[in-house]
Amino acid sequence: MASIEQIRLDFPVLDQQVNGSPLIYFDNAATTQKPQVVLDALNKYYSEDNANIHRGIHALAERATAAFELTRKKIQSFLHAESSDQIIFTSGTTASINLVAQTYGRANFEAGDKILVSNLEHHSNIVPWQMIALEKGAEVMVIPVLDSGVLDLDAYQKLLQENTVKLVAVNHVSNAIGTINPIQEMIALAHAHGAKILIDGAQSVAHMEMDVQRFDMDFFAFSAHKLFGPTGVGVLYGKRDLLESMPPYQGGGEMIKEVSFSGTTYNELPYKFEAGTPNIADVIAFSASFDYLNSLEKGWVEEQENALLSYATEQLSQIDGLKIIGTAPNKIAVVSFLIEGTHPQDIGVLLDKFGIAIRTGHHCAQPLMQRFDIPGTCRASFSFYNTKEEIDRLVACLKRVVTMLL
């Protein structure tokens, strides 16, 4: 197995100076960095194969089509999905969730129906439901979160009890504070009460194994850019009967079988939901992300990240006045914190001066900030290419920053 130094060389962006110091990239929850093989795949596609896909019979179109469909197969096996035609390409997690809200939701929600989201959600898994609920007279209800950042499962069960919940929308992992939600249990509970469930996997895919069948997921959404792939690509997995029963989302080329002014019929899965020229190059390059991940030793990513999480938690806790927001026993390698007497933005601006990239603010999870009555947090989010030495430097710089600010 390659050393961490070698692995870091696979990510060209990491090798640079920021404000005179070596870059420390701790903003992986916002977007992950890309291994060289993904860049190479992009470059190869555009300089050798670039063509529009699916309806062409010339050599370039065939190569591009084959490569595009290969990514679909790789995602199928990454998710352990039944079949590759249940893998729908979108432009991102947000688009995937909106697709479900606007097709499944529009066809199935009625006045008085309830949609459950959790207090831990990213805006992308709240606002689409608010919009369709408003239109349909349905109601968005909230699964509360405990002080530790863990979801309140008792309250969840109570909310389900009346059997008026049509759909539960919950993230697998909270982007703001790192909590890993007990989705297997939550899915079973939703199903037991006749509700469908959508899992927002944006933050889990880069950190843990996924098995949509074993978990019995109805819908699963994620973004390539958070899984070491290009920006502009998202995925929606759905159960076949659900996807088949849903009306199409966007209209256009590719998603049709027959168009005429007297009536139009729609294509089969997955094309029914893929209107227009897809993001061909990035889907193809995304394939290399899976190859890269598969080249790493099995289990190593989780091990490395867990080590980073424990170390960071331990070290950061030693800073005076530092409070970690989100202390769930099951977390991915994300530490959200506040330091007494300082504002997150000031911390972020000054750490940047030391070459350290963290994220500050509400992390697109304002309801969670409201819940904890805080203006935002400082969030350091790790990936397997980060090191303990980087965490040491974060801690040292934080101490310096705090003395500057206080």
Ligand X SMILES: Cc1ncc(COP(=O)(O)O)c(C=O)c1O
Rounded Cα distance, 209 and 231, in Å: 21
Choose the catalytic residue: 30, 155, 364, 374: 364
What is the contact mask toward ligand X in residues 184 to 203, using x (rule: CB under 6 A)?
----------------x-xx
CA distances from 382 to 92, 150, 228, 338 (A): 21, 20, 13, 18
By the 8 A CB rule, do 385 and 11 touch? Answer: yes
Q: Is the CA virtual torsion 46, 228, 19, 388 positive or negative?
A: negative
- Per CB under 8 A, does 46 bind its own copies? yes
String of DSSP letters for 74-127: HHHHHHT-S-GGGEEEESSHHHHHHHHIIIIIHHH--TT-EEEEETT--GGGTH
Per CB under 8 A, contacts with its own copies among 154-183 are none
Q: Would you say 319 or 364 has its CB closer to ligand X?
A: 364
The entry of ligand X, its own copies, other proteins, none that residue 27 binds, CB within 5 to 8 Å by partner kind: its own copies
Name the minimum Å distance from CB 43 to other proteins.
Answer: 22
Per CB under 6 A, contacts with ligand X among 111-140 are 122, 124-125
- Per CB under 8 A, does 207 bind its own copies? no
Rounded Cα distance, 164 and 110, in Å: 10
Rounded Cα distance, 394 and 381, in Å: 12
The per-residue b/e assignment along 324-336, b for 16 or more CB within 10 angstroms, e otherwise, is bbbbbeebbbbbb
The entry of other proteins, its own copies, ligand X, none that residue 203 binds, CB within 5 to 8 Å by partner kind: ligand X
Name the minimum Å distance from CB 349 to other proteins.
Answer: 5
Per CB under 6 A, contacts with ligand X among 260-299 are 276-277
The entry of ligand X, its own copies, other proteins, none that residue 193 binds, CB within 5 to 8 Å by partner kind: none
Q: Would you say 107 or 349 has its CB closer to other proteins?
A: 349
Name the minimum Å distance from CB 218 to its own copies.
Answer: 20
Parallel/antiparallel/unpaired status of strands 139-143 and 114-118: parallel
Name the minimum Å distance from CB 166 to ligand X.
Answer: 21
Which of 76, 86, 171, 289 touches ligand X by CB under 6 A?
A: 171
DSSP classification of residue 238: E
Q: Quote the tokens at residue 260.
A: 């005429």
Which of 153, 296, 364, 374 touches its own copies by CB under 8 A?
A: 364
Clarify whether 397 is annotated catalytic. no
Rounded Cα distance, 171 and 281, in Å: 28
Q: Would you say 305 or 393 has its CB closer to ligand X?
A: 305
The amino acid present at 171, given as its one-letter code, is N
Name the minimum Å distance from CB 223 to ligand X.
Answer: 3
CA distances from 113 to 129, 166, 225, 272 (A): 12, 6, 34, 27
Which of 276, 321, 341, 375 touches its own copies by CB under 8 A?
A: 276
Name the minimum Å distance from CB 73 to its own copies.
Answer: 20
The entry of ligand X, other proteins, its own copies, none that residue 375 binds, CB within 5 to 8 Å by partner kind: other proteins
SS3 content of the chain, % helix, strand, coil (to 5): 45, 20, 40
Catalytic positions, written as ranges: 364
> What are the residues binding ligand X (CB under 6 A)?
92-94, 122, 124-125, 171, 175, 200, 202-203, 223, 253, 276-277, 364
